[in-house]
A = this chain, B = another copy of it.
Amino acid sequence: MSSGDSKTIASRRKAEVKRLLNQLGQKIYEDLENEMFPEVTLASRSVSNIVYDEQLKQYVLGPAKTRRSAHNIKHIRSFTQLIWLASFVNRLVETSKTSTLRDVFYSSQAYGVEFNDQSESDEIITDLEVLLSKAREDFNVYPEERSAIFGDLTIEYTVPGYEGRRLNLASHPDGYLIGPSLSTAEFVDTSAEMVIAVEKGGLFTRFVEENVHKRYKALIVDTAGQPPRSTRYMLKRLNAELKLPVYILADGDVYGEHIAMVIVSGSVGAAHLRDLTVPDAKWIGVWGTDIVKYRLPSDPLSEVDVKRIYELKKDPRYAKGIWQRELDVFLKIKRKSELEAFAKYGLTTIVDKYLPEKLQEAKSL
């Protein structure tokens, strides 16, 4: 994985995506040469085809397929959009440029390919993900949202103009944005022994100021709320490549619990993708139990909160262990708390007392 290794992870990803896009193009040409209407077949994303996989511990697409054929007048629009998108991202990958979801929507107009709005182009991007079994980031399409990372991890860039350059992620105490360059960088060296993912920028800064990276030999990741995919992919890589355990701290409410679950097992909307989950990541707080135990300032649950808890209680991923137990605790105490609530006991209490106690507790999870 060092710079001497000619096959970096990024270059392997790129080669694989190019191979798949090429295969797709080849298939279309062959159909035409055989005087057939070109068509593609992809896994269906209808709700009835999204099933929970106990083994993978995430939602996956079932066996149902969808066919898109140039022969069918109803398919021509989406078929054309899909093939245009494949050629567009093929050039992105070729030229090592990135694009946003929004850019894709507008770029189509240069080719006379019509999308009514961005939600339509986003849909086709997801179709291409399904068709290639690759995340859009693999073909250089990124969303706008960004999150951040900090700690002793030396990376080596693979993006044009920066190939081979190295950077230590503890060198800027405000944190490093997790964008296209960091997502595709190689991991060279780290002294870290764990990753702590926190939901909020304020707490991220607190952790840096209180030297959590040194005291707990940790890399700190700010998920900035529900983590964007590039962040989940980064957490996955830190866990898989560096064998670092991942601990998650989010607000003490049903949304915080769900942020943790999405890191652990992915989202329903990404049922067609792998490599975005960290099945052995641990949600260490803030639990409903902690609200009581640490006597945290709290707010009453709203009707929407309660409704959401009942929804998640029916989700198979929440059927067991602390996931189900804490949903019940939230319902019972009818209260929720934020990470910042620990400030009641002093700004550093969350680092000095709560974090070590929860990391200790996590060993038995």
Q: Which residues on A are within 8 Å of B, measured CB to CB?
A: 97-100, 102-107, 109-110, 142, 144-146, 148, 157, 159, 161-162, 165, 167, 171-182, 200-202, 205-206, 209, 211, 297, 338, 340-347
Contact = CB atoms under 8 A, between A and B. Distances in A.
A181 B176 contact: no
Contact of A144 (B105, B200, B347): B200
Contact of A202 (B100, B171, B206, B338): B100
A171 B169 CA distance: 11
A173 to B, nearest CB: 4
Given A142-B205, A201-B144, A297-B106, A347 B173 contact: no
Contact of A110 (B107, B209, B346): B346
A355 to B, nearest CB: 16
Nearest to A211: B161
Contacts of A110: 343-346
A249 to B, nearest CB: 15
Main secondary structure of the interface of A (DSSP, over half): mixed
A111 to B, nearest CB: 10
B148 A347 contact: no
A143 B296 CA distance: 22
A340 B100 contact: yes
Contacts of A105: 340, 343
A103 B202 contact: yes
11 contacts: A98-B209, A99-B343, A103-B206, A105-B343, A106-B338, A109-B297, A110-B343, A144-B202, A167-B172, A174-B181, A175-B177
Nearest to A88: B347
Contact of A162 (B106, B173, B180, B343): B173
A11 to B, nearest CB: 17
B174 A97 contact: no
B177 A148 contact: yes
A99 to B, nearest CB: 6
